[in-house]
Structure 1
Amino acid sequence: MRRGLAWSCVVWWWAGLCGCVLMFDGEAALDAPGTENGEAPVATILQGPETMARGRSAIFELACEPADCALECARDEGEYDTCESPYIWEDVSEGEHRLRVRARAQAHVGADVWWDFEARPGVGLVVTGELSVDRFYRNVGSLEIACEEAECVLECGLWQLGEGCDEAQCATKMYLDCSQSPVEVEVMELGRYLLEVEACRRDGTLCEVEERRFKVEAPKWAMVSAGGRHSCGILQNQHLYCWGANDSGQLGEAGVTEARAPLRIDGRWSWVSAGEAHSCGIDEKGRLYCWGGNELNQAAPGEGEWVGVTRLGMRSDWERVEVGAEHSCGVRVGKLYCWGSGAAGQVGPASSYSEGMMVEINAASGSWSGELAVGPTHTCAGAADSVWCFGDTTHGAVGHTLEEATFGEALEVSGAQGLTRLVAGERYSCGRDSTGEVYCWGEDVREDPEGAVISLAATPIAETAAIAVLSGGAEHICGIDTEGGLWCWGENTWRQISSDAGEGRSEVVQVASTRSWSQVSAGGEHSCAIERESRKLYCWGRSRDGRLGSEMTGAAVGQPRAVAWEY
């Protein structure tokens, strides 16, 4: 600020007095009567720029007394208008400028104070790149920083903003080196952050400042799929991650054998299904992709023994995909397609000659509804308000015997009319009716396989009511009721149901009853679920290969454990 000294005389006619206000450095130094307590309202400019780069914003800290005062500001020779602190003068043009400030209390107006400053051609600070609010891990992005003026000096600051704090003055400063561009920005905790980049001439006569604000928040999950030895999930921002075993490339990432923390697959996604050793997903544009083990063409027909993230066909209208151990199936516009191994008839009537091809399965009546379940060696789908299954007839999971159908033929399941949320495991299939009661056919997962009773018709499962979400693993089943309660039953050797249930086979038990859940997925020997309010993801069961998404602390985890995140 250009330092100056000025006398200003003010006449209070109503009091018959004449007074002068001394202005020094733009601040009122002499009080005058006028308010109820005998003091005139006084304005003060606490802080502002002396020089600045043209086209930038000049920021001023202002204050006034007494407590009930109000501020008024005027730019250069302009008119006064109500203002507040901090006062921001945006897009300042080149040249000399003056900010004039006065205080008003009731009907009385205090003396002017002013701040002179100059806007000059800048050093040409350029900051490109975004620190996105939808990042949920340590590295939140990078910035390219440069100056058009060769001799500029760069300095960066990063502050973590606490509760009620929005500026650097009240925040916790963190180290940030910007001597090399691009600058990688990393944080270690959740919270709000302020990043400032300052570029100055070497003599310090002129500086430019750019700021970025961003927020690091806990990941919020929208979908999860538990596979054989790996898991995949989609965040609410449509980012897809997978973790666990990667010996067949089922995580979509080359060069690692396993991952105990989520690895991102590029793109934005609406659906994912994790199988035994391969995965498939549908992106935001309806395009179908698969990756991982492909020995039997279960991921990408006609490609190698394992594939990276590979698009299947050129259609952009896929609605759903489900994968098993050695085959996959998908639905688009009422049509059902399957590909992979047909050894047990699980890819339909063409199973005996379809290797290396994606084949369409014709609906017996009308079109397919979109209800779809894929087990290791069989498939079930909905059409005409009924359920139709095909594939391995050994254990009754298709609802008929080999003698009742030709190889790979889809037949209607008795008693399954109106069932939705279809699921399929190794030796069973299930769905829920309109009231939420669960019906299953094949072997009962609550019984030992050697003595299990095989049912070829859909049979209600006792102690299941108002189930809204249903998921089937290899030999266990989980469901969420309309109140958010999580229930599981079946095989519990690896605590994939809960440590609260007995070893071996378990009846229907509630899991983590103090929490409310929105999504669940039962896998080979583990389970994963999304908490309703926080959208936080938890997994439990067998911990080998990193399939739980957390550090291995034992062979099994018997209670839901949060999936690790790279904080």
Structure 2
Amino acid sequence: MAAAGTPADSRKLSNKVVAIAAGEAHTLALTGDGNVYAWGRGMFGRLGTGLQNDELFPVRIDFDSARRSWGGRRLKFVEIAAGAYHSLGLAEQFLELGHPDSFRDESESNIRTSLKVSSVKAGGMMSLAIDNLGALWMWGNCCPQQSSSSEGGFSLISSSIPIPVWNFHGHTVVKVACGNEHVVALVSAGETYKGGDLVCYTWGNNNHGQLGLGDTESRFHPEAVEKFSPSSHWAVHEVACGAFHTALLALDSRASNTLTSVCWTFGLGENGQLGLGTTRSSMLPEPVKGLPWDVFLISVDCGLFHTSVVSSAGDVWSWGMEKGLGLCPDASFTGTDAGDAISPLFISCGGPSRPNFPAPVQVSCGAAHTVLVGDDGYKLWSWGRGRSGVLGNGKTVDCFAPSTVLWPPPTDDFKEMGLDNVDRVKKSKGKDPTRITETEKRLMEAMEEMKILGSKLSVMEKYTSILHGSIFGKPFEERDIPISLQNSGSFDIAKEWENMLESSDRAKLVRLEMFYRNMLVGVKDKILKKRIQEIVRECLDSPPRGGNNYDFSD
């Protein structure tokens, strides 16, 4: 049923996002009708469009070539995953895998059990899958299951086909996550998963303590994290990995009267990505400082050097690099707002009047951006580094506050109005399809015009943000636009300047005074230099008095 005041056709299943995944500079979205959308950087073909072009807003991936290999049946996808530079999609028509035992003894290769992939995950240049029996598989740049050198050092191995992880035989792998070189798995304590009995195992590179085992020694085989072992009262229900850090959501089984969860982190902390109020790294799980203890956290994800969580009430917090926005060093803040967030920062949906995100579903972090699904899947927000269109808002500039992703994509609505309806129109009304084609042509021209205007707007916003940051010491945000300009479109600069001065505190006024003085000194200095240049030029251009010619050569 559509929400009150919302048109029924806008709440259709094809517009509902049920899952998102963020890579290094691209984003994926899975809709309720089984379609996959992608946007952001297209290099290496990670968007699945058949090209390497960037996409500034969501585009639906066309699986026609794959459909032909499935006898013309439409592929319906049930899960997505994004690594740094690659993407995964899991269709209902599951691909079969050989039984793990057949890998151990080729003589038994004729004894094969039909296994199907039930879940996929990706991180860095690694891909993971869980089959319907609860076994774990991995491919790409994988963590080795034994030492790969005579000295016993750690290095990844490359595999172009899925290889099984043997260590969890007799147990069920329920969830998994991976960073650049480490893996975290939530595995049933018994043979089958009964809910609430998960054990956290980690393995791989441990140079920053990202395995949470109390040291920095790498592991070739999974080891249980003691804090989340069967003897602990903490029940893990979500896991995420950054490049070199790990985050977990866990329930306290002792708190029977309230449904609350705690975010635990460990690993590299030099950018504040652990949320511990410091930049130190941690080799053991520690609870994030500054998050309320009376909220239920439903989703957590890690970017390259930042972490984000969202509660069931729609509260969002981020911490880590560049104020928790995940921005890389070459796209940093300036002035008094510079620096990383070493403790959680509350991310507001739309200012003080609307701080919470309605009906949250999931949060996902890319290398330097964050995407959140809310409104029960019918609305997306994004923030962070915006180059290559990774934020999906039609722009390529950084956003320091949540911006709305262009969802549902306008191209889908245009197609419904265009050639997709030609046959239906011809059969039902007998109309000339050229009229529909002409309509689509005008719509596509309008779309191109929108792209041009969006590009111009991006340049203007970037220029405005630079000026605003220079004067006020912080990035320009929408709420900085004067009320008079928002309401009427007219702008009395003298009046607004006076209002701004009246409302500023002493620190802001001192900063403005310093900016004005520096600017004035710079202008006076330039005027003086220009005048000196003019005097020198006049002297050089004037003939010497008395008609004497001077020779300055040796």
Alignment TM-score, normalising by the size of structure 2: 0.45
**Which structure features the higher share of strand residues?**
1
Larger Cα-atom Rg: 1
Alignment TM-score, normalising by the size of structure 1: 0.44
**Which structure features the higher share of helix residues?**
2
Q: Which fold has the larger relative contact order, with Cα–Cα distance below 8 Å and residues 6 or more apart in sequence?
A: 2
